[in-house]
Amino acid sequence: MVKLRAKCLLLGDAAVGKSSLSHIFYNDGSLFQKNYSLTTGVELVMKCINIPETNDSVELYILDTAGKETLAEGCEKMWGEPSLLCLVFDLTSEQSFANCTCWMERVQAHCKGLRVPGVLVGNKSDLSARREVQASVAEEWAQSKGLEYHETSAKEMVNCDAPLLSLAQSFYSLYQEQREIMQNLGPG
């Protein structure tokens, strides 16, 4: 049994639904802690994800960055070295999808050569009549960046656990891979 720990950045434009999503993680009745710092504009939610068919789990420390541009500089200092990325856009806003490219560039500077698995989340899937971003387009962009694509509705609580499970599983795979290497190291 092992419990891994990962720092997960929740990124994306203002009003795409980041806080709504993190509040669902917070409200679903499992063990968590919550913390909000007004000075930094960063909210921390802890969520423990069990890896299916094992006794192992991953504790995700999810940092919800305030989308307001004025606070963004301060937030970047809090990013540190992330373990995982959750990039969110609004399916009814083409602009929020286009801006994902900038978010990726900004965060890459913090990854310092580490492989940081991530997901792309198209939120507000309940507003299907107002959809501006097609799943196939988002899917293709996600693939080109090595991200897994998910669509959610924080409002109707549809599919909200899928991105987290996918992130936890990616981190668990990295752990297994490194452990395998460590077990077979030469003497140097």
Partner 1 sequence: MIDSSGAHVVLASSSDENHPPENITDGNNKTFWMSTGMFPQEFIIRFPETTNISTVTMDSYNIKHLKIERNTSPNAANFEPVTQEEIEQTEGHLQLNSISLKGCRATHLRFIVTEGYDHFVSVHRISVKT
Binding positions for Mg ion, rule: CB under 5 A? 18-19
Q: Could you tell me if 12 and 18 are in contact, meaning their C-beta atoms sit under 8 angstroms apart?
A: yes
Check binding of 96 to ligand GDP (CB under 6 A).
Answer: no
Q: Give the span between the Cα atoms of 111 and 6, in whole angstroms.
A: 13
Check binding of 114 to partner 1 (CB under 8 A).
Answer: yes
**Binding-site residue total for ligand GDP (CB under 6 A)?**
16
Check binding of 18 to ligand GDP (CB under 6 A).
Answer: yes
Q: Give the span between the Cα atoms of 162 and 48, in whole angstroms.
A: 13
Q: How many C-alpha atoms does 17 have within 13 Å on its Cβ side? A: 27
- Which residue lies nearer to partner 1 by CB, 7 or 150? 7
Q: Could you tell me if 2 and 56 are in contact, meaning their C-beta atoms sit under 8 angstroms apart?
A: yes
Looking at residue 39, its amino acid is: T
Q: Give the span between the Cα atoms of 11 and 9, in whole angstroms.
A: 6
Check binding of 122 to ligand GDP (CB under 6 A).
Answer: no
- Which residue lies nearer to Mg ion by CB, 11 or 174? 11
Check binding of 52 to partner 1 (CB under 8 A).
Answer: no
Check binding of 7 to ligand GDP (CB under 6 A).
Answer: no
Check binding of 65 to ligand GDP (CB under 6 A).
Answer: no
Place of tokens 């190291």: 185
- Which residue lies nearer to partner 1 by CB, 16 or 58? 58
Q: Which of 28, 14, 108 is nearest to 68 (CA)?
A: 14
178 binds, among Mg ion, partner 1, ligand GDP, none (CB under 5 to 8 A by kind): partner 1
Looking at residue 11, its amino acid is: L
Please report, as ranges, the residues that interact with partner 1 according to CB under 8 A. 1-7, 58, 61, 81, 83, 112-115, 171, 174-175, 178-179, 181-182, 185-188
